[in-house]
Structure formats: C-alpha cells, structure tokens
C-alpha cells in the first residue's frame, strides 16, 4: 500500500524540470569570462599609462580610443556579472521549488496512508489529491514566472551575447582597473598564520570585548568586499551581526566564519591564516599591524570563492555572502521616456536620493561604485578629506569632517568601491577602503580614507549605489 501511495503522490504532485547545478555552471562560466575581460581591461589601462610622456594628437587619439575600449570591456563585464547574478537567483528558485514538491509529496503520501487506514470516504481521498495538485501547480507556476523574469533580465543586460546594456557601475570593482589595489597580481598568494597574539586579539573582537580598526586595503582588488564589511561595521547592529557569525573552535584551532551561499544557506568556513597583502588590520603601534576581524572575513570569503577569484566582485554579492540578502542597487541608468528608453544622465532621481538617504539613516550597509563619467578627469572639487583624524573619528566617522580638515581638489578612483557613511542636503561622506585619498595631483592626502564630496560629484562619478537589506 505504501508503494501505491507513493505512486499516486508522484502522479499528483509531479516534478519541477530544471537542474540548479546546470544553471549554476553557466553562471560560473559567465563569471570566469568576466574575470578574463577584467584582465583585458587591465592590459588596456596599463598600455594607456605606460607612456605618460607621449604627447600630441596621436597620443590623445590613442588615449581616447583606449578609454572607449575600457568602457566597452567594463560594460561587458557588467552584463556577464549581472547575468550570473540572475541565473544564481533562478537556481535558488529551482532548489526551493524542488524541495517544496518533495515536502508536498511526503505530506500526500502520509495523508493517503492515513485515509486508507481509517477507511475514509473516497470523497476525502479525492479532496486530498485535488488540494495537492493545486499546490503543485502553484509551485510550478512560480518557477515559470521566475524563468520568464530571468529570461527578460538576461535580455536586458545582453549578457548572452557578451554585450551589456548594463545596470551596474562597471560591474566588477577592483579587478584590473584603477581601483584594483596597490599591487600588480591578485595579492592572494601570500598567507600568514595567526600567531597566539593574533588569536587572543581576534577572540576578543569576536566576543565583543574589543573593537577593530576600519578596513585598510592593500594589493588585493577586493575593495567591493572591504567597503561592504566597513558598511556593516558602521552600526552597532552591524558590528554585532559580524561578531555573531565568527567563533573560535578549540577543536579545529581555527575561527569558524558563517557565510551564505547562492541559495541563502549558511556555510561554515574554517580560517587559520590571513592574506599577508590583504586587509592590513589593526594598528598595534610602533609601526606594527596585525589582522583583525575584517581580515578573518576577507580570508573566509577568499576561501569560499577560491582565493584568486576574490578580486572582480560586486558589493551586492558581498552583502549576500555576509548576510544571506542580496543588495538592492540604485543607479543612474534606468528607463524613462518613450518605450522605456535607457536613461544615463548621471543623475539620481529625488526618489533614488531619498532611498539612499533612508538606508543610511536606518543603519543599513550602503556601498557606492565608481562607474560614472570620467571623460574629463577624476577630480572632486570642494571636497574635504579627514586630514586631522583622531581616535573619536573611528567611533563616529559620520562626524569626522570638520573645519580642521583640508578642503580642496581630490581624486576619485575609477572602478572602485567606497563605503557611504553619511548624506546631507549638499554632501555625501564616504570612506575609501585604501584608508587614504589622493589629492588631484596624485599625492597622498595623509588622511584616514574619509572624504566628503558634493552631491553633484557623487552623481557624476558614482553611478551605482548598492543597498543591503535590514541587518537581521
């Protein structure tokens, strides 16, 4: 009778077609293609910077052409990464639907067995089958809708053809463009094991008895990830969330970091060392630095991705990995006008500004990416860097900028990600994960990375703002 009930339940509930693993394999291949294009963009930038003394019409024509090629490559990277993001979301829907049908099938088997054992009327058995069939149709309908939405999204970004109409800020931050990091390779090769001193300090940070310094990016091109970690660190709730997802294991002699995979399910990563050339951690005095909790997270995410894949990412993906929630992008590309024509005016609408402001006010993580208009340079005028930094600025970065700091022309890094700290009617306050900014002539401003720029410059240079969900 059990086999008969199974057969009936299988016929009533049916299956959800599709392979989540196959979908993810395609997404992975698109991400790999994006990384290859990132290397090509790196070569373009290197060729443009290789001959700074070359002047004249031919030099200007070459630089203009290379900038155009770089923008095209960035758009293609955006399309591939956006497409991979949509495929991963669809794979998650497939997994959830298949698991839901399995649970429904088990419930039908149980109900049918109970009905037969109790000699229930045939009409009751028919009711069970009818209700189960209706629920199964609803589950499959959700998958069909998700499939249509995914197809429409892929058509919109043009990832399938390798040409992106794009909704991102250059797509990947920190991979082969100016904001990559301060080194030439991916920076993930060298690792340093935690010392006993490191472990004691990190355990205190994880249990809440000690704080950590803001991020300080070195040669790994993961500005998108460090800026996101910094964004979580701005609020007490965010700091506590990060702490709650790190614990010390005596058995493993490792820190266990809980991240979330593409399906939103938690995965535990064992961390026993840190990237030597990654986040520079805490200032220990006397010129010494040591890894902090952000270094542990960076290494965990690198292990999750496979080390060398750590560069070339997006804040939205980092938010998903840290909290299980996808980031919600706001950008200066959108649809408007006749037949939904693409708008790219380097302007945020009033509603978009309000959305960003509310997110900052609510203490949600907000990260901005520079994929905007760099056609006439990268200078932010009337900007103020935190050149007179003190200890209090670490605790209250939103109030760090004051009359003692230097106002002038500063360089905004192209292809880079910054943490959004505060917004008022005229300015946006950011933190560069490099832990410093450069003046317009390229020299170090000798600040701590906090910089306040006008809203106009923010709109011009930052064409995408990723907003995380409410901190769980």
DSSP labels, 80-121: HHHHHHHHHHHHHHHHHHHHHHHHHHHHHHHHHHHHHHTT--
Residue 376 predicted with pLDDT over 80: yes
CATH 3.90.70 residue spans of the chain? 328-467
Q: What is the pLDDT of residues 138-181, one digit of tens each?
A: 777 777 777 776 776 676 555 333 332 222 333 445 433 334 45
- Candidates 365, 353, 346; CA nearest to 424 is 353
- Lowest-pLDDT range of 169-173, 260-264, 273-277: 169-173
Specify the domain boundaries for CATH 1.20.1260 within the chain: 2-161
Tell me if 387 sits within 8 A of 439, measured CB to CB: no
Q: Tell me: the pLDDT tens digits for 279-325?
A: 999 999 998 999 999 999 999 999 998 888 898 788 998 999 999 88
Q: Does domain 2-161 have CATH number 1.20.1260?
A: yes
Residue pair 124/115 in contact (Cβ under 8 Å)? The answer is: yes
pLDDT at 45: 65
Beta pairing, strands 273-275 & 366-369:
unpaired
The yes or no reply on domain 328-467 and CATH 3.90.70 is yes
For the chain, the average pLDDT equals 81
* pLDDT class of 197 with cuts at 50, 70, 90: very high
Q: Is the pTM of this model over 0.85?
A: no
Q: How confident is the model at residue 231 (pLDDT cuts 50, 70, 90)?
A: very high
pLDDT at 242: 98
Evaluate whether 264 touches 472 at the Cβ level (below 8 Å).
no
Above pLDDT 70, what percent of the chain? 72
């Amino acid at each position: 009778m059990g086999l008969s009930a199974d057969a009936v339940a299988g016929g009533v509930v049916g299956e959800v077609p599709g392979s989540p693993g196959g979908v993810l394999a395609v997404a992975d291949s698109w991400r790999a293609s994006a990384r290859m294009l990132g290397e090509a963009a790196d070569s373009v930038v290197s060729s443009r910077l290789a001959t700074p003394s070359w002047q004249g019409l031919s030099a200007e024509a070459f630089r203009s052409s290379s900038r155009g090629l770089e923008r095209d490559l960035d758009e293609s990277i955006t399309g591939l990464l956006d497409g991979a993001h949509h495929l991963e979301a669809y794979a998650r829907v497939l997994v959830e639907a298949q698991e839901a049908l399995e649970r429904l099938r088990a419930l039908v088997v149980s109900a049918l067995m109970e009905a037969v054992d109790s000699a229930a009327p045939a009409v009751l058995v028919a009711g069970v089958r009818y209700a189960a069939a209706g629920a199964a149709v609803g589950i499959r309908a959700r998958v069909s809708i998700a499939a249509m939405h995914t197809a429409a999204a892929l058509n919109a970004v043009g990832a399938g053809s390798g040409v992106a109409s794009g909704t991102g800020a250059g797509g990947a931050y920190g991979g082969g463009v100016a904001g990559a990091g301060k080194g030439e390779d991916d920076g993930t090769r060298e690792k340093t094991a935690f010392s006993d001193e490191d472990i004691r300090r990190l355990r205190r940070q994880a249990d809440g008895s000690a704080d950590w310094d803001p991020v300080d990016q070195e040669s790994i091109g993961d500005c998108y990830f460090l800026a996101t970690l910094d964004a979580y660190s701005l609020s007490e709730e965010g700091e506590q969330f990060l702490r709650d997802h790190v614990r010390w294991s005596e058995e493993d002699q490792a820190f266990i970091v809980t991240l979330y995979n593409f399906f939103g399910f938690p995965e535990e990563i064992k961390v026993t060392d840190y990237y030597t050339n990654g986040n520079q951690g805490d200032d220990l005095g006397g010129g010494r630095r040591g890894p902090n909790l952000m270094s542990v997270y960076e290494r965990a995410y690198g292990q999750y991705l496979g080390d060398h894949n750590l560069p070339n990412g997006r804040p939205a993906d980092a938010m998903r990995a840290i909290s299980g929630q996808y980031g919600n992008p706001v950008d200066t590309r959108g649809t408007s006008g006749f037949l939904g024509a693409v708008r790219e005016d380097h302007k945020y609408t009033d509603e978009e500004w309000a959305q960003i402001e509310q997110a900052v006010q609510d203490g949600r993580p907000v990260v901005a990416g520079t994929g905007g208009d760099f056609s006439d340079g990268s200078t932010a005028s009337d900007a103020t860097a935190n050149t007179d930094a003190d200890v209090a600025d670490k605790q209250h970065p939103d109030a760090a900028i004051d009359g003692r700091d230097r106002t002038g022309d500063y360089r905004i890094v192209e292809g880079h990600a910054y943490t959004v700290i505060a917004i008022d009617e005229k300015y946006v306050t950011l933190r560069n994960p490099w832990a410093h900014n450069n003046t317009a002539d390229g020299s170090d401003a000798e600040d701590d990375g906090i910089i306040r720029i006008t809203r106009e410059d923010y709109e011009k240079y930052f064409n995408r703002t990723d907003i995380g969900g409410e901190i769980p």
